[in-house]
């Protein structure tokens, strides 16, 4: 008779592997994950089935953490303009707490690991649209959610490629000032 599944051990291993991947990136081999989890590669395979299943679980677990953390950052706060909320989210994401997620997922996007989560790019885009639309409703511009997300993603890619945080911070601040301007002055309407 085989051993029974041990979900608490699997969860502990997954946490440790995700911590390692967020700090060091997703490894090509299982040994770094096994060392980080204080176990053997054989035990990782026992709990997750295959290397790919483990890596997929690590990516999904890190993504759930990111959604929880970043989703809260984008939440509407009645006592603050949404552009302030967006600036606080930008500061967090580009700061020490957010950088592991940005690094890991940008590394993942450029690697062969993409086959592990083929729908990742679409899902990671659409996940943020709802919270952004809700927040932008406060300035009567929910339709700008895609635009805000594109600016956010584009500047994160720029920051990742160049490391120029001063320039990307200024660009994001300037972008938010255009949203503030629209909130105060309204958007131009097309002649009918």
Domain-terminating residue out of 18, 52, 73: 73
Q: State how many domains the chain has.
A: 2
Low-confidence residues in the chain, pLDDT < 50: 1, 188-192
Q: What pLDDT is stored for residue 127 in this prediction?
A: 85
Q: Does the residue 169 lie in any domain?
A: yes
* Nearest Cα residue to 76 out of 63, 92, 89, 93: 89
Residue the block writes with tokens 């707490």: 97
- How far, in Å, are 43, 79, 89, 143, 163 from residue 138 at the CA level? 50, 12, 17, 12, 33
pLDDT digits (tens, 9 = 90+) for 124-141: 778 889 999 999 998 899
Looking at the structure, do residues 91 and 62 belong to the same domain, yes or no?
no
* Nearest Cα residue to 92 out of 113, 74, 79: 74
Q: What pLDDT is stored for residue 125 in this prediction?
A: 76
Q: Which domain holds residue 20?
A: 1-73
> How far from each other are the two terminal CA atoms of the chain, in whole angstroms?
75
Q: Does the residue 192 lie in any domain?
A: no
CB 87 within 8 A of CB 148: no
* Nearest Cα residue to 72 out of 95, 96, 61, 88: 88
Q: Does the residue 38 lie in any domain?
A: yes
Q: What pLDDT is stored for residue 108 in this prediction?
A: 61
Q: What pLDDT is stored for residue 67 in this prediction?
A: 84
DSSP state of 131: H
Residues 49, 50, 56, 58: is their CA dihedral positive or negative?
positive
């Amino acid at each position: 008779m085989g051993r029974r599944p041990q979900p608490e051990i699997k969860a502990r291993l997954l946490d440790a592997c995700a911590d390692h991947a967020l700090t060091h990136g997703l490894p090509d081999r299982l040994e770094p994950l096994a060392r980080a989890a204080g176990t053997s590669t054989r035990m990782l395979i026992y709990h997750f089935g295959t290397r790919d299943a483990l890596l997929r679980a690590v990516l999904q677990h890190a993504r759930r953490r990111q959604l929880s953390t970043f989703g809260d950052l984008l939440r509407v706060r009645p006592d603050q303009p949404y552009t302030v909320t967006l600036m606080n989210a930008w500061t967090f994401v580009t700061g020490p707490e957010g950088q592991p997620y940005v690094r890991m997922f940008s590394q993942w996007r450029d690697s062969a690991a993409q086959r592990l989560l083929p729908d990742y790019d679409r899902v990671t885009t659409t996940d943020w649209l709802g919270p952004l639309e809700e927040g932008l409703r406060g300035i009567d511009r929910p339709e700008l959610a895609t635009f805000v997300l594109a600016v956010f993603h584009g500047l994160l890619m720029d920051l990742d490629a160049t490391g120029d945080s001063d320039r990307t911070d200024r660009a994001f601040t300037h972008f938010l000032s255009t949203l503030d301007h629209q909130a105060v002055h309204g958007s131009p309407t097309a002649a009918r």
